């Protein structure tokens, strides 16, 4: 039997520098470019609506403040080192940035959104040196599902080629949430070490965003002015907002992801860690709770999709983190865990994802507040009734109902968001 937590770690929990969708564009372009053995003369980048919106307004690391998938892709073309995975932009030099900009300025890079694509999809068609390469990354940010050169498949030569990489999700879909949790908590030393690496990494970036004077700074000012109390809720929200401000602001610092998302990694890791430390929970149990947090985030994505219409950070990661808090203090108590899940879905189920950008730190603050409030209410034995709205008779049913809202009820949201983004012009406000 597969080791579930290690499958989740391999496919969804890994270091990334920058917002994961633009960086996946860099990675996909690098994968195609390195197969040409010649400079890229022409490149076409095609992405799904979720990737399009997540690359519309986020600042790209080492780009001198530029935003978007196009500059990220162009830098990936020049770097041409797919072995760097989602830390690829750490390799950017002034010369690489200059060559990337030259490719864009020459008109050699075209970009479009494949609006009818429902899943995560990045497709690159590159030409150079008389050859053509076609590369597709899907079902995961580094999961190569197509790699062809001059019409011949060369996918077997790539270390991250798809080979049933997402089979663990098929198993997750058939499991009850309690079964997932009981399997996850049996951590070996290697798993605990990897979880600790994520804690350390995300704590480090959470120190960096305040200086940008965005959301975390504003929270700090409100606390200093007496508008907010300097309590656990404030401290957690300020730290996760700072990490988000740093990421969305393009700081070239790594973050450990969850569900393939750096923003979700911030919440699923830092919230249980900071709450656990404040409540004097022993480190080993905090580590187990973070493993649970990653697993629950993965479990939810099995139903809502890789890039959801609803905000994955504010909803999926919040549910994951709240479940982790309940585990820290009550173990696998499914009544209390169900309360926590239902409380969050009842509160946040309408929050849409309108792309990655600086404003995401506003949503992570909302998610962190709701996750803590929902968890502590659940621990006190309070949960929203199944008579309320889309709440089901079990945690699993509530999650599936959330999925129906996302996949069926809000099917036109992504298209509407993409059309709004395509029609936008520069405006006022914090860059």
What's the pLDDT at 429? 46
pLDDT at 186 over 60: yes
Mean pLDDT of all residues in 277-289 = 98
Q: How far apart are CA 101 and CA 341, in angstroms?
A: 46
| pLDDT value at residue 1 | 38
d(CA 384, CA 10): 35
Dihedrals φ, ψ of 147, to 5°?
-150, 110
- Tell me the two tokens of residue 138: 């899907």
Angle, CA of 92, 198 and 364, to the nearest 5°: 85
Query: Lowest mean pLDDT: which of 32-36, 119-123, 412-416?
Result: 412-416
Structure confidence at residue 161 as a pLDDT band (50, 70, 90): low
Checking if the pLDDT of 58 tops 60, the result is yes
* Residue ranges of domains in the chain: 17-157, 175-422
Residue 158 banded pLDDT, cuts 50, 70, 90:
confident
For the residues 232-249, what does the mean pLDDT come to?
96
Strand partners, 44: 110, 125
Of 8-17, 59-68, 257-266, 347-356, least confident by mean pLDDT is: 347-356
What is the pLDDT confidence band of residue 162, given thresholds at 50, 70 and 90?
A: low
Q: What is the pLDDT of residues 356-409, one digit of tens each?
A: 888 899 999 999 999 999 999 999 999 999 989 999 999 999 999 999 988 888
pLDDT tens-digit profile of 105-117?
A: 999 999 999 999 9
In order, the DSSP letters of 190-257 are: HHHHHHHHHHHHHHHHTTTSGGGTSHHHHHHHHHHTTSS-SSHHHHHHHHHHHHHHHHHTT---EEE-
Residue 180: HSE in the Cβ half-sphere, 13 Å Cα cutoff: 33
pLDDT at 188 over 90: yes
Neighbours of 408 (CB within 10 A): 8
Compute the distance between CA of residue 191 and CA of residue 180 in angstroms, rounded to an integer: 16
Q: Closest Cα to residue 365, out of 226, 223, 170? A: 223
Each residue of 309-350: pLDDT tens digit? 888 888 999 999 999 999 999 999 999 999 999 999 999 988
Q: Which CATH number fits domain 17-157: 3.40.50, 1.25.40, 3.30.1330, 3.30.420?
A: 3.30.1330
pLDDT, residue 396, reads 94
Share of the chain above pLDDT 70, in %: 96
> Tokens 């899943």 label which residue?
119
Question: If we measure between CA atoms, which residue out of 94, 108, 89 comes closest to residue 40?
Answer: 108
Q: What is the pLDDT of residue 156?
A: 83
Tokens of residue 9, six digits: 């770690």
Q: Does residue 428 surpass a pLDDT of 60?
A: no
**Model confidence over 295-306: pLDDT tens digits?**
999 999 999 887
Give the integer Cα–Cα distance in Å for 258 and 417: 24
Whether the per-residue pLDDT at 230 is higher than 60: the answer is yes
**Residue among 90, 83, 86 at smallest CA distance from 33:** 83
The pLDDT value recorded for residue 2 is: 54
Token pair belonging to 44: 């076409």
pTM over 0.85: yes
H/E element, 112: strand 109-113
Asked if residue 50 lies in contact with residue 307, where contact means CB atoms within 8 angstroms, the answer is: yes
Q: Which two tokens mark 327?
A: 């585990």
d(CA 273, CA 283): 9
**Model pLDDT, residue 306:** 76
Count of Cβ atoms closer than 10 Å to residue 359 Cβ: 16
pLDDT at 265 over 60: yes
Query: E strands, 150-265, where?
Result: 152-153, 254-256
Q: What is the pLDDT of residues 167-185, one digit of tens each?
A: 888 899 999 999 999 999 9
What CATH number is given for 175-422 in this structure? 1.10.4100
pLDDT for residue 256 is more than 60: yes
């Amino acid at each position: 039997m597969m080791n579930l937590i290690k499958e989740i770690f391999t496919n969804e929990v890994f270091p990334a520098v920058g917002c994961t969708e633009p960086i996946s564009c860099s990675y996909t372009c690098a994968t195609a470019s390195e197969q040409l053995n010649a400079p890229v003369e022409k490149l076409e980048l095609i992405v799904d609506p979720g990737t399009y919106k997540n690359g519309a307004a986020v600042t790209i690391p080492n780009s001198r403040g530029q935003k978007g998938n196009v500059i990220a892709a162009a830098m990936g073309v020049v770097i041409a080192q797919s072995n760097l995975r989602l830390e690829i932009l750490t390799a950017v030099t002034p010369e690489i940035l200059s060559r990337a900009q030259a490719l864009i300025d020459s008109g050699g890079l075209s970009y479009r959104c494949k609006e009818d694509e429902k899943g995560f999809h990045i497709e690159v068609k590159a030409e150079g040196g008389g050859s053509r390469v076609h590369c597709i990354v899907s079902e995961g940010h580094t999961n190569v599902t197509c790699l062809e050169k001059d019409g011949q498949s060369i996918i077997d030569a790539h270390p991250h080629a798809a080979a049933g990489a997402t089979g663990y999700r098929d198993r997750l879909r058939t499991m009850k949430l309690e079964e997932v949790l009981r399997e996850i908590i049996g951590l070996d030393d290697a798993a605990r070490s990897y979880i600790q690496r994520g804690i350390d990494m995300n704590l480090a970036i959470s120190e960096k965003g305040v200086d940008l004077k965005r959301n975390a700074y504003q929270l700090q000012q409100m606390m200093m002015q007496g508008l907010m109390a300097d309590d656990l809720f404030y401290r957690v929200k300020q730290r996760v907002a700072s990490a988000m401000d740093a990421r969305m602001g393009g700081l070239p610092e790594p973050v450990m992801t969850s569900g393939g998302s750096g923003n979700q990694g911030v919440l699923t890791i830092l919230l249980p860690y900071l709450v656990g430390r404040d409540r004097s929970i022993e480190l080993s149990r905090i580590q187990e709770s973070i493993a649970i947090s990653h697993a629950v985030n993965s479990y939810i994505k099995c139903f809502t999709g890789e890039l959801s219409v609803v905000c994955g950070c504010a909803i999926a990661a919040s549910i994951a983190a709240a479940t982790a808090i309940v585990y820290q203090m009550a173990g696998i108590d499914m009544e209390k865990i169900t309360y926590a899940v239902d409380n969050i879905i009842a509160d946040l189920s309408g929050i849409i994802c309108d792309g990655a950008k600086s404003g995401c730190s506003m949503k992570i603050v909302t998610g962190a507040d709701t996750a803590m409030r929902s968890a502590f209410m659940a621990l006190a034995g309070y949960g929203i009734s199944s008579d309320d709205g889309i709440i089901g008779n079990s945690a699993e049913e509530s999650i599936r109902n959330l999925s129906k809202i996302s996949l069926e009820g809000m099917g036109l949201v992504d298209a509407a968001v993409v059309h709004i983004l395509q029609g936008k012009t520069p405006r006022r406000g914090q860059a």
